[in-house]
Amino acid sequence: VQLQASGGGLVQAGGALRLSCAASGSTSNIRAMGWYRQAPGKQRELVASITSTSMTNYVDSVKGRFTISRDSTKNTVHLQMNSLKPEDTAVYYCNVVWGPPGRSISSSWGQGTQVTVSS
pLDDT of residue 101: 84
Is 3's pLDDT higher than 90? yes
Distance CA 119, CA 12 (A): 6
DSSP symbols for 3-29? EEEE--EEEETT--EEEEEEEESSGGG
**Burial, 12: exposed, middle or buried (Cβ in 10 Å; 0-12, 13-18, 19+)?**
exposed
pLDDT tens-digit map of 69-79: 999 888 999 99
Mean pLDDT of 47-59: 96
**Total residues found in the chain within this entry:** 119
pLDDT tens-digit map of 19-51: 999 999 988 899 999 999 999 999 999 999 999
pLDDT of residue 102: 85
Q: Considering only CA atoms, which of 26, 48, 31 is closest in space to residue 92?
A: 48
